[in-house]
């Protein structure tokens, strides 16, 4: 019996454990899970610590790791996964495309106790490319790849089922600047155009649901036509794909399969709230998983900041799950430091939204009280990156040990406290 069906029957073990971690009422989480408004990605083969994602819950973040053709070594990706979890990632996605991809995935699953996601079509597309071309994949390639990932214990998988003959036709007429920027979306768009056939993941969606039920992995319905620049945001192709995904959400729920919906991409600030509201309406409040969003295209090297700006706005508007962006986005495979910076930026975005939505204020209050006391150790305990906070504090010189090198002996807090106490 699937997690969703178990939740419909009554409070399950996953629900109780997730509720404890969330500090929430188990019955409320059970109802959200039973109706599909929340998910707990948890393949029993991996059995990670349950993490609830969805309506009314604390905003969660995902960190992508994974090798490339040019950088295929396993150990750096393991270290990235460890660092991402250490600094607050709630889930890890392995997007490896270089080296022994199967071994890398299996090792990462063993290494981390948070949910692990993958995009199986990456591996199958590259297998086909080594034989001849990506467009020579067949249906068996696609589904056998999904089943292999499931047997390894993958907790959630991105599947680009909304790339169809219909949505590709919208792409042709959309006048986009950047066409398709999703790798999985590009594989399937090219496959459809070359073979002049329907996407097997859409045409045989019932079989995909059977696999998801059998292995209890969640589906992350991918946005293969997400905008790749702000000028392309909220166009016909993106919206057509979303409409199709909304129909697939209903089929998932009828089959008892957990699903979430992936969202854009590059979106100007003025359209983020509308995009979230559109997804929630079209997809009947399915959990919304967004990349960024990135609110401008001109900041390579700083896209973790761009993504955090968009992520905070999206989460405040109702997005449930933020995929981090690193400073290396659009430029290179991120290194360990890039991963750390990306996780922290995304964590700030998630926390800012949680705070505005009435969750997690206690930590900010503890920080405020520590600052009033000039209690630096207490401040470090509340900081998202204590090591960096310590390093900055030590910079410069001050005779005022309690203060910092910004204000020295004219510390505003000390000065006012002195006279308030008189």
DSSP assigned state of 230: G
325-336 residue pLDDT tens: 999 999 999 999
CA distance 308 to 323: 10
Residue for token pair 């083969």? 45
Please state, for a pLDDT cut of 90, what percent of the chain lies above it: 90
pLDDT at 351: 98
DSSP assigned state of 153: T
Classify 321 as helix, strand or coil: strand
Token code pair at residue 80: 């990235």
CA distance 109 to 127: 22
Query: Average pLDDT for residues 328-353, to the nearest whole number?
Result: 98
Q: Please give the C-alpha separations between residue 264 and each of 224, 258, 269, 288, in angstroms, as whole numbers.
A: 9, 21, 12, 10
CA distance 213 to 203: 18
- Whether residue 358 has pLDDT greater than 90: yes
3-state SS, one letter per residue, for 333-396: CCCHHHHHHHHHHHHHHHHHHHHHCCCCHHHHHHHHHHHHHCCHHHHHHHCCCHHHHHHHHHCC
Q: Please give the C-alpha separations between residue 30 and each of 3, 10, 143, 232, 318, in angstroms, as whole numbers.
A: 10, 7, 31, 38, 20
197-209 residue pLDDT tens: 999 999 999 999 9
* Pairing assessment for the beta strands 53-54 and 91-94 based on DSSP bridges: unpaired
Q: Which of 346, 339, 344, 280 has its CA nearest to residue 310?
A: 346
CA distance 244 to 249: 9
Please state, for a pLDDT cut of 70, what percent of the chain lies above it: 98
Average predicted confidence (pLDDT) for the chain:
95
pLDDT at 406: 75
- Whether residue 422 has pLDDT greater than 70: no
Residue for token pair 């991409």? 265
CA distance 39 to 52: 6
* Pairing assessment for the beta strands 288-291 and 38-39 based on DSSP bridges: unpaired
Rounded to an integer, what is the distance from CA 303 to the centroid of its chain? 15
Q: pLDDT category, 398, cuts 50, 70, 90? A: low
Q: Which of 115, 64, 60, 65 has its CA nearest to residue 88?
A: 60
- Whether residue 151 has pLDDT greater than 70: yes
CA distance 286 to 289: 9
Based on DSSP, count helices (H) and strands (E) in the chain, helices before strands.
19, 10
Which secondary-structure segment (H or E) carries 24?
none
List the domains of the chain with CATH numbers. 3-356 (3.20.20.540), 361-420 (no CATH)
């Amino acid at each position: 019996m699937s997690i969703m069906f178990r939740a419909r029957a009554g409070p399950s073990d996953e629900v109780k454990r997730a509720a404890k971690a969330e500090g929430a009422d188990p019955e409320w989480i059970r109802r959200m899970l039973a109706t599909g408004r929340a998910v707990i990605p948890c393949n029993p083969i991996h059995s990670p610590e349950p993490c609830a994602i969805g309506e009314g819950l604390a905003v969660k973040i995902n960190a992508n790791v994974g090798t490339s053709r040019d950088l295929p070594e396993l150990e750096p990706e393991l270290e990235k996964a460890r660092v991402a979890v250490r600094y607050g990632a709630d889930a890890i996605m392995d997007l490896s495309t270089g080296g022994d991809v199967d071994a890398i995935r299996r090792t990462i699953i063993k290494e981390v106790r948070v949910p692990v996601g993958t995009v199986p079509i990456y591996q199958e597309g590259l297998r086909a490319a080594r034989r001849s071309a990506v467009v020579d994949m067949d249906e068996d390639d696609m589904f056998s790849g999904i089943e292999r990932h499931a047997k390894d214990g993958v907790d959630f998988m991105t599947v680009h089922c909304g790339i169809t003959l219909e949505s590709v036709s919208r792409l042709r007429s959309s006048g986009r600047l950047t066409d398709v920027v999703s790798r999985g979306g590009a594989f399937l768009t090219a496959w459809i155009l070359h073979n002049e056939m329907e996407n097997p993941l859409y045409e045989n969606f019932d079989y995909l649901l059977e696999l998801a039920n059998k292995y209890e992995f969640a589906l992350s319905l991918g946005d293969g036509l997400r905008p790749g620049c702000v000028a392309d945001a909220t166009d016909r192709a993106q919206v057509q794909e979303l409409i199709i995904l909304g129909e697939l959400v209903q089929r998932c729920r009828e089959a008892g399969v957990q699903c979430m919906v992936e969202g854009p991409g590059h979106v100007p600030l003025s359209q983020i709230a509308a995009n979230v509201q559109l997804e929630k309406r079209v997809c009947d409040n399915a959990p919304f998983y967004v990349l960024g969003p990135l609110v401008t295209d001109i900041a390579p090297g700083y896209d973790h900041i761009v993504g955090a700006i968009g992520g905070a706005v999206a989460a405040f508007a109702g997005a449930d799950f933020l995929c981090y962006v690193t400073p290396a986005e659009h430029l290179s495979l991120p290194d360990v430091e890039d991963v750390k910076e990306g996780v922290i930026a995304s964590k700030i975005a998630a926390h800012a939204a949680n705070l505005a939505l009435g969750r997690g204020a206690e930590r900010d209050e503890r920080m405020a009280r520590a600052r009033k006391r000039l209690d630096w150790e207490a401040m470090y305990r509340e900081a998202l990156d204590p090591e960096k906070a310590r390093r900055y504090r030590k910079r410069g010189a001050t005779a005022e040990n309690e203060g910092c090198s910004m204000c020295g002996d004219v510390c505003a807090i000390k000065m006012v406290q002195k006279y308030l106490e008189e």
